């Protein structure tokens, strides 16, 4: 029996679909595979699994979707690293469309949107990542940076504090603490 998606996943799906449409209008292009290409790749994948004796196609489709969404994320990471932010947005949107339950994809999308100076959309992507996993420290850290850019300094500090609380890596925690402290100094001036 199929379970209905949670309200968080439905919210995430609706947001990313709207974002996809906006991004397509802004850039007039997309990196996403079209429906025919996806069906072709899925068909080849299912055929290969069948040749290996795998009979459960639903499980196979789930595996395919996870691999495809991760592939888009990895490509997005490369474009983000190379400062091709608009393309990274497009690729992260693809990850989110395929796997709207994954907070990492929304956090990465938020980072790419941030670098495109699309702060309100970045804020929403961070909020969705947190809604999907309230213990995901990197999403709080990214949200803090967005809130800071939007002039919501008290909210930024709250999010920096939450990120510090959740961060397990000492050097990352120190870097976040430094960012928070710099903001506090700026606010006192």
pTM for this prediction: 0.80
Query: Among all chains, which residue has been given the structure tokens 């495809």?
Result: 68
Q: Tell me what pLDDT residue 82 has.
A: 95
**Is 187 in a helix, a strand, or coil?**
helix
Helices (H), the chain: 7-27, 35-51, 57-81, 85-98, 103-115, 119-132, 137-149, 153-166, 170-188
Q: Give me the DSSP letters along 114-162.
A: HHTT-HHHHHHHHHHHHHH-TT-HHHHHHHHHHHHHTT-HHHHHHHHHH
For 39-93, the pLDDT digits (tens) are: 677 677 777 777 877 777 777 777 778 888 998 899 999 999 999 999 999 999 9
Closest CA to 137 of 110, 111, 164: 164
Structure tokens at 22: 């906006």
Check if the beta carbon of residue 125 is closer than 8 Å to that of residue 137: no
Q: Tell me what pLDDT residue 111 has.
A: 98
Closest CA to 156 of 129, 189, 179: 179
Which positions of the chain have pLDDT values less than 70?
1-5, 9-14, 17, 23-24, 26-39, 42
């Amino acid at each position: 029996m199929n379970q209905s998606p949670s309200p968080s996943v439905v919210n995430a799906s609706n947001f990313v679909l709207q974002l996809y449409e906006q991004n397509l209008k802004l850039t007039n292009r997309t990196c996403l595979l079209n429906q025919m290409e996806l069906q072709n790749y899925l068909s080849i994948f299912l055929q290969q699994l069948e040749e290996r004796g795998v009979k459960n196609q639903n499980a196979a489709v789930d595996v395919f979707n996870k691999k495809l969404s991760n592939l888009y994320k990895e490509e997005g990471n490369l474009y983000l690293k190379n400062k091709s932010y608009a393309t990274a947005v497009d690729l992260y949107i693809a990850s989110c469309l395929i796997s709207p339950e994954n907070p990492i994809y929304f956090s990465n999308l938020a980072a790419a949107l941030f670098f495109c100076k699309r702060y309100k959309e970045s804020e929403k992507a961070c909020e969705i990542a947190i809604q999907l996993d309230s213990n995901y420290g990197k999403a709080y850290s990214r949200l803090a940076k967005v809130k800071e850019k939007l002039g919501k300094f008290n909210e930024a500090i709250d999010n920096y504090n939450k990120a510090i609380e959740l961060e397990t890596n000492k050097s990352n925690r120190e870097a976040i603490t430094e960012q928070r402290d710099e903001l506090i100094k700026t606010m006192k001036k």
